[in-house]
Structure 1
Amino acid sequence: MSTLRPVSVCDTTPLQRFESQSSSGEEPSSPTASSIIAAASGPNHNNNNNVKLDLQLPTFVDSTRSQGSLYAVASNKKPPLRGPRQIFGRILTDLCLLSCVGLPMLGFSLWGEAVKRGFFCDDSSLRHPYRDSTMPSWILYLMCGALPLTVMLVVEFFRGQDKRLHSPFPKSTMCSGYHLCHLELPTWLVECYHRMGIFIFGLGVEQLSTNIAKYSIGRLRPHFYTLCQPVMKDGTTCSDPINAARYIEEFTCAAVDITSKQLKDMRLSFPSGHASFACYSMLYLVIYLHRRMQWKQLRMLCHLLQFLLLMFAWYTALTRVSDYKHHWSDVLAGSGIGLTYAVVVTSTMW
């Protein structure tokens, strides 16, 4: 009587082919049902209970889908909340940084004295008439101060609404992580604060650089003779032949209607503060619109606004020469200061 002994049949021909394909770098084909049955069948296929089949197939995972799910979970996760302590701490820090720029500017305005620079009586560049500014200061402050802040407020608000409508997780896009009085501040408001803060800080640095140059050089304006009517210490004037080729440093202004502000401003020609202010604000706003106003439907409108802003800065710079407020080199230097700071400040904007 023949005894039955357990037989382990593993015809692994299909499996070996599967492994050879995997090792050769080819994309392995999935084992079919027929190949598995053929592997399990053998000379003693009637003893199915004693057949031991060991199949270890690799597990294929859709990496793209898994990464997408991870990103989705990460994007849906709310940022940690920051209370009033963090908010007011951030505002206080920003105010301290701004005071480092604003206080020197205030000191220049109240107590600053420009260098006492002399002149030649035959210098024709100082004999232009005195005229009122075509671009007064209040229009400059309105266009270069209030307008950029208003545009940033409107653009950031609509960007926040657009993200909320088109995001798969609208609640997460509205969460900024800052809460005040049991209310969480929206993301667009925090972004608006960041953009405005960078703009104001850059504006202060640009104006401080301009004032340092003004008070350090003390260049006389083109309407110096008309406004001052200088008289020398010996009582002579520029009409006397003795002063024809002299470099005059000690003089007084004989004009009776000149104010102390005009007397101080008379020596602050280089560089042009109007030109630097306008060029900085307008170029900053142009770059801001280019990087933040990205709606394809309003692309032509964005380009039109950018053109108008640049033309305002260009026109402001030209009027400073035509109104005899500055020499052409003063306007060129002021424009260069404003453009340089605008590029530097906006270099990290996204």
Structure 2
Amino acid sequence: MNSFNTYLSANKRCVRKVGTDLCAIIILGIPVFVLFLVGQPYKRGFNCDDESIRYPYKDNTITSVVNYLYSTLIPIITIIIVEIVYHRKAIQNYNQSQDPDDSTGLNKMPANTDLLWQIYCRLAPFIFGALISQLTTDIAKYTIGRLRPHFIDVCKPEISDGTRFTIQTGCQGYEYRYITDYQCTSIEFNDHRKRDAHLSFMSGHSSFVAYCLVYLVIYLQVRLRWSALGFIRPLYQTLLIYLVIYTGFTRISDYKHHWSDVLIGLLQGLVVAILSTVFISDLFATRTRIVGCPTTAAAELTDSYGTNSQSTGIIHQSPKRHPNYDSCKVEMDENLRLYDNDINI
């Protein structure tokens, strides 16, 4: 009865946590959505003879949709696969440690609920960090309003005296003049594309793909410690980094961004990924470890600080550091957390 009550208490705690997580995600997501729909960038002036904004418009090598798809799906699918394999091996190891004569079934870990919660606790910090990276990028874009390399071609600005600038015309009489009073008169491009011509800094493609794939690289480094894989893990990590770099390079070759936009975007994604894995996720949280075979139900094994709770196993406490993201997992899958450190596939 005590284990049942503890399990219900854990469920309530986890429901509250999911609710607060969703609220935080929505709070971050709303300004991203609003800026995308109705945001107006700062209208920055230009020098007509600035060669860095007189490139022709080119279609994207990697569209925004494709970039968002592979940046999110690759980490999500990889994390789910790793957690499923990890969980099955942990269940197998745990069940093998139980008393074969036990007919109550209390010591069997609840595989499905534990697995779903484990996956949630890996993916939720990833999604939260992705929104942080995206919102940071959008704030920079709309407040700075840096002109894209194809600005003149897309906008075809016209000033008050009727002079119209294109990439084919020169700047006679307007050399070294900073122009702030102009209107975009291009008929080849819609208003969305003209607005987008003011959103060069920083590169959204670069920052988002850098965040998502660097987060995955760190996750694999910390979580995937299977000796049988050999060089498979570093090979996969290397390919992910190459994809990040390639994405950034295409933004320069497509004349969508200046090289500095891409560089800062990559650095921003890298920094947010590191901060998210360290301070938001539980990847680096100190784990409590067990020596011996506990004989009570998973819900009664231990609390979040590693104190013994009706278990015959010997619990050794690591230096105290509270798991900073999934502390409500204690009663539901503490056994998985305790045993997965010892998995060797």
Sort the TM-score into its range (normalised by shorter chain). Answer: 0.7 to 0.9
CA–CA separation in structure 2 for the residues paired with 1:124 and 1:188 = 56
Aligned pair partner of 1:139 in 62, 66, 69: 66
- The letter of the residue matching 2:29 is G
Aligned pair partner of 1:165 in 69, 77, 92: 92
CA–CA separation in structure 1 for the residues paired with 2:219 and 2:78 = 10
- Tell whether the 8 Å contact from 1:163 to 1:173 is kept in structure 2 after alignment: no
CA–CA separation in structure 2 for the residues paired with 1:150 and 1:160 = 15
CA–CA separation in structure 2 for the residues paired with 1:317 and 1:162 = 38
Match of 1:117? 44
Q: What SS does the aligned partner of 1:303 have?
A: helix
CA–CA separation in structure 2 for the residues paired with 1:299 and 1:129 = 47
Match of 2:8? 82
Tell me which of the two structures has the higher relative contact order, counting C-alpha pairs closer than 8 angstroms and 6 or more residues apart. Answer: 2
Q: Does 1:220 align with 2:151?
A: no
- Tell whether the 8 Å contact from 1:272 to 1:326 is kept in structure 2 after alignment: yes
Q: What SS does the aligned partner of 1:186 have?
A: helix
CA RMSD of aligned residues (A): 2.1
Aligned pair partner of 2:213 in 266, 282, 290: 282
Q: Does 1:338 align with 2:269?
A: yes
Q: 1:173 to 1:132 in 2, by over 3 A?
A: farther
- The letter of the residue matching 1:219 is R
- Tell whether the 8 Å contact from 1:164 to 1:173 is kept in structure 2 after alignment: no
Q: What SS does the aligned partner of 1:243 have?
A: coil
Deviation sequence 1:41-90 (CA, Å, 0-9, x none): xxxxxxxxxxxxxxxxxxxxxxxxxxxxxxxxxxxx89930366444332
Match of 1:152? 79
Deviation, 1:245, is 2.3
Q: 1:80 to 1:185 in 2, by over 3 A?
A: farther
Q: 1:126 to 1:96 in 2, by over 3 A?
A: same
Deviation, 1:301, is 1.3
Deviation, 1:240, is 5.1
Q: What SS does the aligned partner of 1:214 have?
A: helix
CA–CA separation in structure 2 for the residues paired with 1:337 and 1:172 = 48
Match of 1:302? 233
- The letter of the residue matching 1:99 is I
Deviation sequence 1:236-290 (CA, Å, 0-9, x none): 1343523222111111122112111101111000000000001101100011111
CA–CA separation in structure 1 for the residues paired with 2:30 and 2:195 = 20
**Which 5+ residue runs of structure 1 have no aligned equivalent?**
1-76, 177-183
Alignment TM-score, normalising by the size of structure 2? 0.73
- Tell whether the 8 Å contact from 1:222 to 1:324 is kept in structure 2 after alignment: yes
- The letter of the residue matching 1:213 is A
CA–CA separation in structure 2 for the residues paired with 1:173 and 1:260 = 63
CA–CA separation in structure 2 for the residues paired with 1:307 and 1:78 = 46
- The letter of the residue matching 2:267 is G
- The letter of the residue matching 1:126 is I
Deviation, 1:138, is 2.5
Identity %: 38
- Tell whether the 8 Å contact from 1:230 to 1:253 is kept in structure 2 after alignment: yes
More displaced stretch, 243-252 vs 184-193: 184-193
- The letter of the residue matching 1:107 is V
Q: Does 1:175 align with 2:109?
A: yes
Match of 2:321? none
Deviation sequence 1:210-234 (CA, Å, 0-9, x none): 1111111000000011111111111
Q: 1:279 to 1:174 in 2, by over 3 A?
A: farther
Q: What SS does the aligned partner of 2:183 have?
A: strand
Match of 1:255? 186
Match of 1:229? 156
**Which 5+ residue runs of structure 2 have no aligned equivalent?**
99-104, 285-345
Q: 1:312 to 1:240 in 2, by over 3 A?
A: closer
Aligned pair partner of 2:137 in 210, 216, 223: 210
- Equivalent positions of 1:257-276 (< 5 A) are 257-276=188-207
Q: What SS does the aligned partner of 2:230 have?
A: helix
- The letter of the residue matching 1:141 is Y
